[in-house]
Amino acid sequence: MDRITGKVKFAIIGCGRISYRHIEAIQENNDAQLVALCDLNLERANEMNGTAHVKVYEDYREMFSAEDIDVACIMTPSGMHAEHAIDIITSYRKHIVLEKPMCLRVSDGLKLIDTARSVGVRLFIVHQNRFNKAIQKIKTAIDNDLIGRIAMATVRIRWSRGQSYYDRDPWRGTWALDGGALTNQAIHHIDLLRWLTGAIKSLSAVAKTQFVNVAVEDTACAWLKFKNGALGAIEATTATRPLNKDLEASISILGENGTVIVEGAAVNKLTLWTFDDTDTREFSEDPPNVYGFGHNHIIDNVVDVLKNGGEPLVSGEDAIESIKLLSALYRSIEEDGREVSLKDDPVSGRLGVIDAATEKIANLYRTDAVMRSRKK
């Protein structure tokens, strides 16, 4: 891979809710430059361009032909992540920043990893909560064996998403392109649980759609057995009411030497630390929303790797392990909570599967969607 000597030039594909954090993070790095935005919905792209002030495109093929771009930040529907990334890698040889989840099906993620490796481009996956001060404090403690053997690790996500959230776009709330609370919201915390505590041996999960009219779950619970002997639990819901109030995203770890708890809407507040006299306020942050501040670490790492060498903070090979865990959770749910073993590589029969009912929706977002619409 040739190193970039000037500014690293970024383009954003998909101008939804999270795109503004990418815009901010790029603008705040002196060695980065945002050169273009792209979205099939030009009104949405122009709205985001109020702070970016760059060229806006409807078709990313046109964008890549017209602009000098090093990195594509992909924030399209979750079920299109791998397809879009693979097309951009093979057709344009661009480095990729890919929002969570990196894919919906493990096989798609593995293909993406192999494609990036074979072409010689870098793949950076966005799991920004790993870089919260509180989470970094825990990771360092675990790596240095301060916590000791872990007995229990638990994540709890109590967020709020109403029907209007799912009605905003046709892909939302579908198994083919979105997934439910575990996939779209709790994937951050599922990733943290695995990253901090270690590999999972087996699990059992149940889920239900409580307060919205969609195909996917808005509430799920799971228990886990880790390879290191720890037990774990996941509580994830977007059914918190009243609407539009995200109450909690927390993680707790109980070790033989003490206990640590991180709370806050974005796992951003260290509220309990029993190992020494650490001032928990030093490792607590107050972000304006659940997205936190971690995107800056991701973009800074992209710039550093492409200019100076090194490795992504979150590689495809790392992130795919969280997708394997996600797939196992859904497989257990689909089998009424049966315990499944991760060594068997359990695969969800629904997540990421485009069937006759969702083919029309998927075609709206396929790589040639704009081109086909212009031919009509």
Q: What is the pLDDT of residue 137?
A: 97
Dihedral class, residue 179 (left if φ above 0, else alpha if ψ from -120 to 50, else beta): left
**Between β-strands 231-237 and 258-263, what pairing exists: parallel, antiparallel or unpaired?**
unpaired
Locate CATH 3.40.50.720 in the chain. Answer: 8-128+295-312
Residue 223 and residue 216: Cα distance in Å, rounded? 20
Ranges 9-13, 270-274, 283-287: which has the least confidence:
283-287
Residue 4's φ and ψ, nearest 5 degrees, are -90, 130
Q: What is the pLDDT of residue 116?
A: 98
Q: Is domain 8-128+295-312 given the CATH code 3.40.50.720 in the classification?
A: yes
Give me the amino acid identity at 197.
Answer: T
Residue 372 predicted with pLDDT over 50: no
Burial state string for 255-292 with b = 16 or more CB within 10 A and e = fewer than 16: beebebbbbbbbbbbbeebeeeeeebeebbbeeeebbb
| pLDDT tens column, 8-38 | 999 999 999 899 999 999 999 999 999 999 9
The H or E element that residue 102 is part of is none
Q: Is domain 130-292+320-344 given the CATH code 3.30.160.250 in the classification?
A: no
| pLDDT tens column, 301-360 | 999 999 999 999 999 999 999 999 999 999 999 999 999 999 999 999 999 999 888 899
Q: What is the pLDDT of residue 287?
A: 79
Share of the chain above pLDDT 70, in %: 97
Distances (CA, A) of 217 to 63, 101, 323: 36, 16, 17
Q: What is the pLDDT of residue 290?
A: 72
Average confidence (pLDDT) over 258-276:
94
Bridge partners of 208? 219
Residue 36's φ and ψ, nearest 5 degrees, are -165, 155
Going through 256-330 in order, the beta strands assigned E by DSSP cover 258-263, 269-273
Locate CATH 3.30.360.10 in the chain. Answer: 130-292+320-344
Average pLDDT value for the chain: 94
Residue 376 predicted with pLDDT over 60: no
Q: What is the pLDDT of residue 265?
A: 80
Q: What is the pLDDT of residue 196?
A: 98
Token pair for 131: 């870089």
Residue 268 and residue 249: Cα distance in Å, rounded? 8
User: At 279, is the pLDDT very low, low, confident or very high (cuts 50, 70, 90)?
Assistant: very high
Average confidence (pLDDT) over 55-66:
96
The H or E element that residue 11 is part of is strand 8-13
Average confidence (pLDDT) over 135-148:
97
List the one residue out of 348, 351, 329 whose CA is nearest residue 202: 329
Ranges 69-83, 87-101, 191-205, 357-371: which has the least confidence:
357-371
Distances (CA, A) of 231 to 3, 149, 186, 257, 259: 44, 11, 18, 16, 14
Average confidence (pLDDT) over 252-279:
95
Chain centroid offset of residue 322 CA: 10
Token pair for 105: 């099906």
Burial of residue 164, with CB atoms counted within 10 A of its CB: 0-12 exposed, 13-18 middle, 19 or more buried = exposed
